[in-house]
């Protein structure tokens, strides 16, 4: 005759998820959502890239959720660092920014998936379960865009922003948010000279003639992202 302990079904350990987002209220929502699942649990949180890198050196995680917009180094830079230090941990990038601009950059940096915050919390759990199996997660609409681009050629319908490096795009976003070169340098831990060089390259690549045109372009682009 089997005892209760002998007849019980062994439980599977929950997958441990580490969250990186600089908005505590948003993180709290993700914590509740993930911890409600029997097979998932939050093992740690961070509000900046530096905090995340430090914590993950001492925390065992099965997957990491990273927001793109972080103070200092942004989410794309963090993904690159995580891929170097923890090459086997799948990363899901979550952002309010347009996936047409950022999703491929995130995947190229080493992320396993890109999730728009506007898609709602209900999409997070399927996305996490998918990347935990080693598969890639993008929205259906973006997946169709990728297939279309491959079928028609990489240059067909390409955005001028595609020519910018990740750092140049990051500088453009800060310009659009109204920051000066000094403020951008402080936020990104760069020299003012380096920021000015990035601004010059952005102007050249986007065929903008003056700093005023750069500011106007960046401001309109950020407004579209936020809208």
Residues 43 and 142 grouped into a single domain = yes
DSSP 94: E
Angle between helices 49-56 and 75-85 (to 10 degrees): 20
Average of per-residue pLDDT values in the chain: 85
Residues 24 and 130 grouped into a single domain = yes
List, as own/partner pairs, every contact residues 33-36 make where C-beta atoms lie below 8 angstroms and the sequence separation is at least 24, other chains included: 33/121, 33/124, 33/125, 34/124, 34/125, 34/128
Is the pLDDT confidence value at 227 over 80?
Answer: no
Domain count, the chain: 2
Q: Among 59-63, 93-97, 137-141, 182-186, which range has the highest average pLDDT? A: 59-63
pTM of this prediction? 0.76
Mean pLDDT of 92-108: 85
Q: Check residue 154 and give its pLDDT.
A: 52
In a domain, 115, yes or no: yes
In a domain, 173, yes or no: yes
| Rounded to 5°, angle at Cα 69 from 167 and 207 | 40
DSSP 137: B
**Cα–Cα separations (whole angstroms), residue 164 to 15, 88, 198:** 36, 28, 10
* pLDDT grade for 96, boundaries at 50, 70 and 90: confident
> Could you read off the pLDDT of 125-184 as tens digits, one per residue?
999 999 999 999 987 666 656 655 555 555 555 677 888 888 898 898 889 889 999 998
The domain containing residue 165 runs over which residues? Answer: 160-226
> Could you read off the pLDDT of 32-44 as tens digits, one per residue?
999 999 999 999 9
* pLDDT grade for 85, boundaries at 50, 70 and 90: very high
* pLDDT grade for 226, boundaries at 50, 70 and 90: low
Q: Check residue 2 and give its pLDDT.
A: 45
Mean pLDDT of 191-206: 92
HSE-up (13 A, CA, CB side) for residue 152: 10
* CATH code of the domain containing 200: 1.10.10.10
């Amino acid at each position: 005759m089997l005892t209760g302990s002998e007849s019980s079904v062994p439980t599977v350990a929950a997958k441990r998820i580490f969250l990186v987002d600089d908005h505590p209220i948003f993180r709290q929502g993700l914590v509740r959502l993930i911890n409600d699942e029997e097979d998932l649990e939050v093992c740690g949180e961070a509000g900046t890239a530096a905090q995340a890198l430090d914590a993950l050196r001492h925390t065992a995680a099965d997957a990491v959720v990273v927001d793109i917009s972080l103070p200092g180094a942004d989410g794309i830079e963090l993904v690159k660092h995580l891929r170097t230090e923890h090459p086997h941990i799948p990363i899901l990038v979550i952002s309010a920014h347009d996936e047409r601009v950022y999703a491929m950059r995130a995947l190229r940096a080493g992320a396993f998936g890109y999730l728009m915050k506007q898609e709602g919390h209900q999409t997070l759990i399927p996305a996490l379960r998918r990347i935990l199996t080693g598969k890639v997660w993008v929205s259906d609409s973006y997946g169709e865009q990728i297939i279309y681009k491959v079928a028609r050629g990489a240059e067909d319908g390409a955005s001028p922003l595609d020519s910018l490096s990740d750092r140049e795009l990051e500088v453009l976003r800060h310009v659009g948010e109204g920051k000066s070169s000094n403020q951008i340098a402080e936020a990104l831990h760069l020299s003012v000279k380096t920021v000015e060089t990035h601004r010059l390259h952005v102007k050249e690549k986007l065929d903008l003639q003056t700093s005023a045109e750069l500011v106007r372009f960046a401001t309109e682009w950020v407004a579209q992202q936020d809208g």
